[in-house]
């Protein structure tokens, strides 16, 4: 091959490789579910209150894994339900959580996580009644948990009263049997990402129930980003 | 010991212009990489469809009713990969001769006599010429190394801060797994593939390798393994690093299938490559090429090949069992159903430890080959060097439980494995005895290969001594699973193997391609690489000792300055590799400065032929007259007689026949 | 020429400067200085510190190995540096070097010295493991440990699950907490197990590392010698949040520990009733306490339905 031909081929090949690499980085590596911002307009470290609303569903009909259980987070401004588990709160503030539990029950692997810890008052309200712990082995009581290990928060999610009734079938759920959990905690003063997870092995079809949605961000685990 | 010689006829050159009609076809009608890709795609679709049918996803009756709900498509994906591999090979034309002979027709390629014509097309085909396969391996390995290196850059970018994250933890753990697996599985052939396959026939005086088809097959499995592993990213990656511990690997989503299939496939490639080398070196040596005259590089290749042939089957078995646990719901590794997570650990590390010696030994071989040439002195204590290679290879099968000291294995096994691991540092030390003895009163020429060899000795010293720290069970309690281990194996593998690879490349490229790499760029690359490499990995010993585990994305805040230093150095290291790629491309594509036949004035047999070697390597099988390291010997014999008079060969043949008759 | 080649082949002491002696004289002060610095200056600060007897034994091990490693490394590096400076190729000299193929005495010396060092290290490491004062040097010994401390150690069960460690104290009613508190000066037995995948319990300052395997009890011993904070990290990649699986424990005085344990036992009594009885291993997929209603609904344990009840068929 002549020199100009070699140069041209080489340049094309290099550009192709660079384009592929850029695509992979941008699409696969830097992509991901969106972050719902609860911190805009709220001053940090003032003890201000932020109201975060989430729901957990028996499936989600909006992703490529429709039969994976999933959390949804409500956008504070538009009140639309976003299929994500990433949210942002201001540091040093009071976080009021409301979580709608639409999913049925699964026994916990370690029942110690049926106990409510890390909330203000040490309890959570299930449909208005304060609850200190839920026993996932004595009855169909626990569907999921909302746990932030970095701040010692653990809140089990109760299951709808009659789990044999038809659970909500399309996500995000707006009707169907559910329980409403409310609790509060203080967001830490140190900024950063605090991961949260569900502790119930609800990843059906995966060994120990901890695969699939349990280990995929956007479904049963995510990040609480604390910003100043 | 008389050498079993082959009649000249039996050693036609490997490779082959096909006999008969097909030779006249244009390049795009002959099986090559483009037909292979088509075959792979068709194979994947067929396999995926079959898997869907078996698991009822297509609505047909569920043939395998025990696969529970989850929408994890392990069966379709695994079968898709397997069929894709078969389709790839079919598209390459690997099965063509087999089928021809099965129906009674002669093979189109008989591996003798013909050689492929010029041009680039032969490098994209299933070529049976070992020199073509060597160069295919070379380009492939550089591509795999650079891709995995880019993943490493991403890892270090994430580790710049323990608090602010560039990637989500999910993406990060995928990247960690891809980097580790790609390097560990593909770099096992980084020297044996390009240099072993290309140079061994030349070094032993043969015109071909023993099994050209097996050799070519071992190469063509590697792009498939690479692509299957990369495709794991499309499936969500795998969150368990290159070690794949069950039960996490059973729990993972479908990305883990790409890991198991790719790694198992690479294991098959290793078995094939090693097998070919062993038989070639044992059976195809020229008359006079006694074992005591065999170049040290060949010793290293033979030992590495034995390790590959004996250890890789365990890997393939382990990966297969993992796939069975993931797809067919067997319970090899599920302790509550009668299996054991320890079973996987032991299977994996029984392969895994010889694997790291598969990575280390070729590096020893290359530097032991380079230093006599550049020091103009014989290799000091040749027999000790050979004993070192063989000793390392042998002992490497007896040390694997040092990866499991803290995992709850039987406690009285640990002093035993501590002993064997400490013992293996004795033959490893022989390499240094040989090196220091060769440097003694030498006349060292600081060519680029020599610089890389010296760098390799420096790095492997640190790597090897840190290995001794790890072999001590109490100390290992703190060091296991931390960045100390990371620093140790990067020093031995990257500081040892990759530096040796670079040295070997600068040394042998004039022979393999007839082109010399730019020396100035080479020296820049070496110094930048050496300094940034040490700057990257030396602090990691401290980071590990300070308590940072491996594969984490969050670490103690007080370790951030060290991590930042390491990350910046790693970017410089990446830049030095870029320099290498630039040098390689610049020299081989643009400048193409012709090299002389023997620019290093080496006594190696491979340097006694033209650069690049003629199609059949040697016009006649040479008769080897002396060892390759006889520098400084007054009135030394030339290394070989390349055109032995007619009587010499037949005399050698009849002498060996007479000896056998007497025995 | 041949004569000098033969002389050179006999090693140092031939005509010309005595390279061997020179190298030795350059190496000696470097090795001695390095050893003294490592043992006396850096030694007391070497990781993992001195907070427990396991950490002390490991620190001592690392000190001894450093003291042995430094002269070895110094020798190779000094030799290489010397070669690179003194035995360079000079311009215009196209002769080969001396044809030294080997030297039996030097080879034998090298092999002997390396073998002695290595065998010493192996026996030293074994001694450090087996000596009763160190009781296994903090490494996990599996379900049947052979190097145990004297006396009855405090039992602390470490339960690893994705992605948190919890700790159970069977001697205090079997309560389970995420708070790791330990008494100083008393032998402690860690019983490490896992509920799902392989984790690893690494208490850095205590020098304890034991893998957590499902269905297996991995025992490690230590005795804390000082009070203070302990960083606990998971040391085996266990999935998505492995990097975030860490917490902090504390070593306090014996009295403070007893107070804490008794108070927490009372505080958590209600939760402890919900837990399975204390056992060295747990199978969370088969839960005998599961209520009949749950069993009827097909929920027998936390197994994620990967292995349906009849699969694999047990012979």
Residue range B486-513, pLDDT digits in tens: 999 999 999 999 999 999 999 999 999 9
The ranges assigned to domains in chain B are 8-18+109-591, 610-662
pLDDT value, residue B658? 65
Min Cα separation C262/chain A (Å): 18
Q: How far is CA B445 from the centre of its chain?
A: 29
Residues of B in contact with C241 (CB under 8 A): 169
pLDDT band, very low/low/confident/very high, at A209 (cuts 50, 70, 90): confident
How far is Cα B653 from Cα B647, in angstroms, rounded to an integer?
10
pLDDT value, residue B571? 97
For Cα atoms B500, B506, B507, give the angle at the middle one, nearest 5 degrees: 85
Considering the domain architecture, whether residues C116 and C187 belong to the same structural domain is answered as no
Min Cα separation B41/chain A (Å): 20
Give contacts of C 180-209 with A, CB under 8 A.
Answer: 195-197
Nearest-by-Cβ selection for C97 from B169, B412, B632: B632
Q: Is B331 on the interface with C (CB under 8 A)?
A: yes
pLDDT in tens, C62-72: 999 999 999 99
How far is Cα B195 from Cα B304, in angstroms, rounded to an integer?
13
pLDDT in tens, B585-600: 989 888 888 888 889 9
Min Cα separation C265/chain A (Å): 14
Q: For the domain that residue C201 is a member of, what is the CATH number? A: 2.60.40.420
Decide if pLDDT at B69 tops 70.
no
Q: Is B176 on the interface with A (CB under 8 A)?
A: no
Closest CA to C271 of C206, C204, C176: C176
For Cα atoms B139, B144, B146, give the angle at the middle one, nearest 5 degrees: 95
Nearest-by-Cβ selection for A110 from C159, C163, C289: C159
Min Cα separation B171/chain A (Å): 6
pLDDT value, residue A158? 93
Domain membership flag for residue C303: no
- Residues C207, C277 contacting (CB under 8 angstroms): no
The ranges assigned to domains in chain A are 1-31, 35-227
pLDDT value, residue B112? 53
How far is Cα A132 from Cα A179, in angstroms, rounded to an integer?
16
Mean pLDDT over all residues of chain B?
Answer: 89
Q: What share of chain B is helix, strand, coil (3-state, %, to 5)?
A: 65, 0, 30
pLDDT value, residue B652? 66
pLDDT band, very low/low/confident/very high, at A1 (cuts 50, 70, 90): low
pLDDT band, very low/low/confident/very high, at B110 (cuts 50, 70, 90): low
Stretch B18-38: mean pLDDT, rounded? 75
How far is Cα C223 from Cα C148, in angstroms, rounded to an integer?
11
pLDDT value, residue A21? 86
Q: Tell me whether residues C241 and A197 touch, CB distance under 8 A.
A: yes
Strands (E), C109-227: 154-161, 164-169, 175-177, 180-183, 187-194, 199-203, 208-212, 218-223
Residues of A in contact with C197 (CB under 8 A): 208, 210
pLDDT value, residue C173? 93
Decide if pLDDT at B451 tops 60.
yes
- Using the structure block, give the residue that is written with the tokens 């290990």: A149
pLDDT value, residue C308? 63
Number of residues that make up chain C? 315
Decide if pLDDT at B236 tops 90.
no
B581: CB partners within 8 A, 6+ apart: B142, B146
Residues of B in contact with A23 (CB under 8 A): none
pLDDT value, residue A43? 85
Min Cα separation B166/chain A (Å): 8
Q: Is A118 on the interface with C (CB under 8 A)?
A: no
pLDDT value, residue B163? 87
Decide if pLDDT at B545 tops 70.
yes
Domain membership flag for residue C117: yes
Question: β-strands A35-37, A179-186: how paired?
Answer: unpaired
Nearest-by-Cβ selection for C240 from A152, A208, A221: A221
Min Cα separation C58/chain B (Å): 5
pLDDT value, residue C143? 92
Give contacts of A 54-73 with B, CB under 8 A.
Answer: 65-68
In CATH, A35-227 is 2.60.40.420: yes
Domain membership flag for residue C93: no
Question: β-strands A49-57, A94-101: how paired?
Answer: parallel
Decide if pLDDT at B159 tops 90.
yes
Domain membership flag for residue C9: no
Considering the domain architecture, whether residues C268 and C159 belong to the same structural domain is answered as yes
pLDDT band, very low/low/confident/very high, at A167 (cuts 50, 70, 90): confident
Q: How far is CA A83 from the centre of its chain?
A: 9
Domain membership flag for residue C205: yes
pLDDT in tens, A49-64: 999 999 998 888 888 8
Q: Say which residue, C8 or A104, is predicted with more confidence.
A: A104
Highest mean pLDDT among A171-180, A208-217, B348-357, B603-612: B348-357
Nearest-by-Cβ selection for B341 from C138, C198, C240: C198
Min Cα separation A6/chain B (Å): 7
Q: Neighbouring chains of B at 3+ CB pairs within 8 Å?
A: A, C
Stretch B248-257: mean pLDDT, rounded? 91
Nearest-by-Cβ selection for A107 from C178, C287, C307: C287
Helix (H, G, I), strand (E, B) or coil at C191: strand
Q: Say which residue, B661 or B264, is predicted with more confidence.
A: B264
Domain membership flag for residue C269: yes
Considering the domain architecture, whether residues C164 and C121 belong to the same structural domain is answered as no
Q: Among 1.10.443.10, 3.40.50.150, 3.40.50.720, 1.20.210.10, name the CATH number for the domain at B8-18+109-591.
A: 1.20.210.10
Q: Say which residue, B170 or B65, is predicted with more confidence.
A: B170
* Residue C159 belongs to domain spanning: 154-274
Query: Within chain C, which residues score under 70 in pLDDT?
Result: 1-15, 308-315
Q: Tell me whether residues A206 and B233 touch, CB distance under 8 A.
A: no
Structural domains in chain C (count): 2
Query: For residue C202, what is the nearest residue in chain B, using CA coordinates?
Result: B478
Question: What ipTM was assigned to the predicted interfaces of this complex?
Answer: 0.92
Decide if pLDDT at B427 tops 50.
yes
How many beta-carbon contacts under 8 Å exist across A and C?
114
Considering the domain architecture, whether residues C119 and C159 belong to the same structural domain is answered as no
Query: For residue A22, what is the nearest residue in chain B, using CA coordinates?
Result: B150
Stretch A18-41: mean pLDDT, rounded? 87
Q: Is B118 on the interface with A (CB under 8 A)?
A: no
Residues of B in contact with C305 (CB under 8 A): 68-70
- Residues B228, B265 contacting (CB under 8 angstroms): yes
pLDDT value, residue A204? 76
């Amino acid at each position: 091959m002549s020199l100009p031909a070699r140069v041209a081929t080489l340049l094309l090949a290099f550009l192709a490789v660079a384009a592929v690499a850029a695509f992979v980085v941008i699409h696969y590596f830097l992509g991901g579910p969106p972050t719902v911002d609860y911190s805009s307009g709220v001053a940090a470290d003032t003890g201000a209150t932020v109201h975060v609303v989430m729901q957990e569903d028996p499936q989600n009909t909006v992703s490529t894994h429709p039969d994976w259980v999933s959390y949804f987070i409500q956008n504070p401004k538009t009140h639309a339900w976003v299929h994500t588990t990433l949210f942002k709160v201001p540091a040093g503030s009071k976080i009021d959580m409301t979580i709608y539990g639409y999913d049925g029950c699964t026994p916990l692997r370690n029942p110690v996580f049926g106990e409510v810890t890390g909330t203000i008052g040490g309890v959570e309200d299930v449909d208005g009644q304060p609850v200190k712990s839920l026993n996932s082995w004595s009855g169909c009581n626990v569907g999921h948990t909302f746990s932030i290990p970095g701040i010692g928060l653990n809140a089990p999610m109760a299951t709808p009263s009659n789990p044999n009734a038809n659970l909500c079938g399309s996500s995000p759920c707006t009707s169907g049997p559910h329980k409403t959990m409310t609790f509060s905690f203080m967001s830490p003063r140190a900024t950063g990402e605090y991961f949260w997870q569900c502790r119930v092995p609800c990843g059906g079809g995966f060994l120990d129930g901890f695969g699939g949605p349990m280990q995929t961000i956007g479904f049963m685990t995510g990040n609480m980003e604390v910003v100043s | 010991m008389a050498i079993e010689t082959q009649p000249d006829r039996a050693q036609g050159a490997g490779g082959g212009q096909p006999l008969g009609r097909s030779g006249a076809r244009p390049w795009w009608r002959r099986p090559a990489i483009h037909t292979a890709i088509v075959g792979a795609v068709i194979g994947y679709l067929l396999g995926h469809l079959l898997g869907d049918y078996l698991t009822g996803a297509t609505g047909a009756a569920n043939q395998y009713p025990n696969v529970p709900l989850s929408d994890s498509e392990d069966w379709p994906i695994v079968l898709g990969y397997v069929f894709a591999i078969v389709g790839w090979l079919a598209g390459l034309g690997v099965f063509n001769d087999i089928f021809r002979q099965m129906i009674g027709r002669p093979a189109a390629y008989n591996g003798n006599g013909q050689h492929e014509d010029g041009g680039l097309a032969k490098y994209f085909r299933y070529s049976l010429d070992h020199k073509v396969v060597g160069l295919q391996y070379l380009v492939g390995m550089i591509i795999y190394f650079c891709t995995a290196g880019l993943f490493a850059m991403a890892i270090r970018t994430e580790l710049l801060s323990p608090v602010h994250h560039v990637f989500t933890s999910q993406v990060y753990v995928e990247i960690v797994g891809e980097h580790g697996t790609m390097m560990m599985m593909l770099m096992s052939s980084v020297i044996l593939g390009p240099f072993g396959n290309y140079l061994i026939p030349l070094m032993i005086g043969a015109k071909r390798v023993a099994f050209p088809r097996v050799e070519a097959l071992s190469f063509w499995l590697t792009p498939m393994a690479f692509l299957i592993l990369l495709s794991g990213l499309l499936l969500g990656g795998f969150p368990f690093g290159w070690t794949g511990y069950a039960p996490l690997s059973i729990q993972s989503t479908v990305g883990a299938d790409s890991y198991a299939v790719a790694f198992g496939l690479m294991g098959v490639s290793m078995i094939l490559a090693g097998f070919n080398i062993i038989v070639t070196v044992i059976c195809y040596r020229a008359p006079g090429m006694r074992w005591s005259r065999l170049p040290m590089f060949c010793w290293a290749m033979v030992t590495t090949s034995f390790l590959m042939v004996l250890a890789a089957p365990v890997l393939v078995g382990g990966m297969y069992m993992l796939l069975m646990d993931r797809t067919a719901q067997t319970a090899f590794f599920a302790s509550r159903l009668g299996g054991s997570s320890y079973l996987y650990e032991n299977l994996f590390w029984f392969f895994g430890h010889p694997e790291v010696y598969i990575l280390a030994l070729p590096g020893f071989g290359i530097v032991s080959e380079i230093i006599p040439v550049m020091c103009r002195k014989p290799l000091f204590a040749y027999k000790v060097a050979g004993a070192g290679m063989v000793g390392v290879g042998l002992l490497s099968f007896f040390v694997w439980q040092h990866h499991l000291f803290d995992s709850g294995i039987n406690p009285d096994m640990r002093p035993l494995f501590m002993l064997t691991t400490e013992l293996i540092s004795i033959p490893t030390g022989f390499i240094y005895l040989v090196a220091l003895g060769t440097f003694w009163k030498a006349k060292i020429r600081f060519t680029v290969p020599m610089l890389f060899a010296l760098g390799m000795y420096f790095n492997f010293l640190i790597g090897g001594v840190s290995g001794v720290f790890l072999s001590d069970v109490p100390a290992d309690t703190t060091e296991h699973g931390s960045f100390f281990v990371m620093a140790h194996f990067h020093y031995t593998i990257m500081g040892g193997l990759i530096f040796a690879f670079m040295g070997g490349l600068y040394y042998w490229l004039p022979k393999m391609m007839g082109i010399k790499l730019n020396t100035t760029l080479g020296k820049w690359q070496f110094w930048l690489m050496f300094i940034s490499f040490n700057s990257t990995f030396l602090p990691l010993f401290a980071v590990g000792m300070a308590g940072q585990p491996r594969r984490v994305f969050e670490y103690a805040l007080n370790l951030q300055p060290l991590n930042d230093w390491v990350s910046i150095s790693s970017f410089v290291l990446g830049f030095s590799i870029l320099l290498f790629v630039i040098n390689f491309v610049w020299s081989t594509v643009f400048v193409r400065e012709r090299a002389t036949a023997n620019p290093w004035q080496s006594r190696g047999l491979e340097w006694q032929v033209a650069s690049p070697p003629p199609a059949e390597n040697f016009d006649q099988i040479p008769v080897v007259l002396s060892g390759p390291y006889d520098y400084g010997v007054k009135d030394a014999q030339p290394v070989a007689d390349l055109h032995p008079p007619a009587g010499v060969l037949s005399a050698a043949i009849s002498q060996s026949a007479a000896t056998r008759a007497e025995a | 020429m041949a004569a000098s080649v033969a002389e050179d082949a006999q090693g140092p002491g031939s005509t010309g400067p005595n390279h061997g002696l020179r190298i030795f004289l350059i190496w000696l002060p470097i090795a001695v200085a390095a050893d003294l610095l490592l043992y006396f200056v850096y030694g007391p600060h070497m990781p993992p510190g001195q907070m427990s007897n396991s950490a002390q034994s490991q620190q001592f091990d690392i000190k001894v190995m450093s003291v042995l490693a430094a002269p070895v490394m110094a020798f190779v590096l000094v030799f290489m540096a010397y070669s690179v400076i003194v035995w360079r190729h000079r311009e215009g000299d196209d002769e080969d070097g001396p044809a030294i193929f080997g030297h039996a005495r030097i080879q034998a010396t090298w092999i002997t010295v390396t073998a002695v060092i290595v065998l010493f290290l192996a026996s030293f490491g074994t001694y450090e493991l087996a000596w009763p004062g160190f009781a296994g040097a903090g490494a996990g010994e599996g379900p049947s440990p052979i190097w145990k401390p004297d006396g009855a150690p405090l039992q602390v069960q470490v339960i690893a699950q994705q992605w948190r460690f919890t700790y159970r104290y069977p001697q205090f009613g079997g309560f389970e907490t995420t708070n790791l508190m330990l008494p100083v000066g008393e032998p402690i037995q860690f019983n490490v197990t896992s509920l799902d995948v392989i984790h690893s319990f690494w208490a850095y300052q205590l020098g304890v590392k034991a893998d957590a395997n499902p269905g297996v009890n991995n025992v490690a011993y230590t005795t804390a010698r000082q009070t203070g904070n302990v960083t606990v990290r998971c040391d085996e990649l266990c999935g998505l949040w492995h990097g975030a699986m860490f917490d902090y424990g504390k070593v306090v005085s014996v009295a403070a520990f007893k107070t804490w344990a008794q108070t927490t036992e009372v505080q958590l009594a209600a939760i402890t009733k919900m837990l399975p009885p204390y056992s060295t291993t747990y199978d969370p997929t088969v839960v005998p306490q599961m209520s009949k209603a749950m069993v009827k609904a097909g929920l027998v344990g936390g197994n994620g339905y990967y292995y349906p009840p009849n699969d694999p068929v047990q012979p």
